[in-house]
Amino acid sequence: MTTLTINGTARTSASPSSTKLLDVLRDEFRLTGTRFGCGEEQCGACLVLVDGVPVQSCGREIGALAGRAVTTVEGLQAHPIIAALLAEQAGQCGYCLSGMVVAAAALLARNTSPTRGEIATALDAQLCRCGAHPRILRAVERAAVERAAVERAAGELRP
Ligand code: FES
Ligand code: FES
């Protein structure tokens, strides 16, 4: 048994401790937004945040994650990157997008106005077989601008 926090809620996994986090998320907790791509830590489709740090869930055993906080794409549905990806029509088949969302959210948490080069570097390990990278990069730029605007507006409303 392993207890950890997933998207803000305490969950206990009954899977053997050597089970990969990706399999626990998808098969035990039915959080199927996190995708299986290569299973070899090479494509980024399975990216999640562990204590805010992006990790490839296909390479992490559940037993090593007791007490940690995992955020999946399901926990990022209110993040501006989601609307920005839609606005830029960035997805083609969409298979890579949950990993892209997680990578972009991690970038924007540490860098609120990244350059195009910084975005490309942050997403470099995320493979997109459809070649949609240009639109995805534009979506991350858009999300940064829109997030800054929301924060500016919130600041103006504060007493
Ligand atoms: S499925 Fe984990 S990196 Fe490809
Ligand atoms: S949109 Fe198809 S793999 Fe990226």
Q: Residues 104-117: what's their mean pLDDT?
A: 95
The predicted-structure confidence for 29-74, as pLDDT tens digits, reads as follows 999 999 999 999 999 999 999 999 999 999 999 999 999 999 999 9
Question: Domains in the chain and their CATH numbers?
Answer: 2-75 (3.10.20.30), 78-157 (1.10.150.120)
The rounded percent of the chain whose pLDDT value lies above 70 is 99
Best substitution site from 35, 42, 85, 93 to test ligand 2's pocket, by max atoms within 8 Å of Cβ?
Answer: 93
Measuring from atom 2 of ligand 2, which residue has the nearest CA? 93
Q: What kind and span of H or E run contains 133? A: helix 133-157
pLDDT grade for 77, boundaries at 50, 70 and 90? very high
**Strand extents, DSSP E, the chain:** 2-6, 9-13, 47-50, 53-56, 69-71
Report yes or no: 105 and 41 within 8 Å, Cβ to Cβ. Answer: no
The response to whether residue 23 sits with its C-beta less than 6 Å from ligand 1 reads no
Q: Which residues line ligand 2 at a C-beta cut-off of 6 Å?
A: 91-96, 128-130, 132
DSSP code, position 108: H
The response to whether residue 36 sits with its C-beta less than 6 Å from ligand 1 reads yes
Q: What is the pLDDT of residue 114?
A: 95
* Statement: residue 15 has pLDDT above 90: yes
The predicted-structure confidence for 116-158, as pLDDT tens digits, reads as follows 999 999 999 999 999 999 999 999 999 999 888 887 887 777 7
